[in-house]
Amino acid sequence: MKTPVLFFLVVIILFSSCKKKVSCASSMVLSATSITPTVGDNVIITAPLNSSNDVYQWNGPGVNQINQITTLQLDDIKLSQSGIYSCGVGGNGDCNPLTDTILITVKMKQETAPCTLTNN
């Protein structure tokens, strides 16, 4: 009777020592649809997805969000939204936290001049 108990004990020890291998990124690089948008444009800043359990903290001019979304969308961007945006990712406990920043410089729209050298 000791043999089946010993067998199950060995099986339990083997399965309990198996741990799913986690692949952790060593760095994070933010990207944006445009780093020099014009007033009124839409800009999407994207962080890479490392794990479905990751929690992202987005910061920037007028932005302070914590969520599980890998993108930050800035619709109808204003001059006041020019600045440094940062994202920190972590939360699954298996990997070290990662951060990166990106500079967004919003430009004014260039209007057509009301007069020219020939129409002056």
Neighbours of 13 (CB within 10 A): 9
CATH architecture of 26-104: Sandwich (2.60)
Task: Provide the whole-model pTM.
Answer: 0.73
Q: Dump pLDDT digits (tens) for 79-101.
A: 999 999 999 997 566 678 899 99
Q: Where are the alpha helices (DSSP H) in 1-120?
A: 2-17
Alpha-carbon gap, residue 27 to 24, rounded angstroms? 9
User: DSSP secondary-structure letter at 62?
Assistant: T
Distances (CA, A) of 28 to 24, 33, 95: 11, 17, 12
Q: Is the pLDDT of residue 35 over 80?
A: yes
Q: Which residue has the tokens 């997805």?
A: 49
Q: Is the pLDDT of residue 7 over 80?
A: no
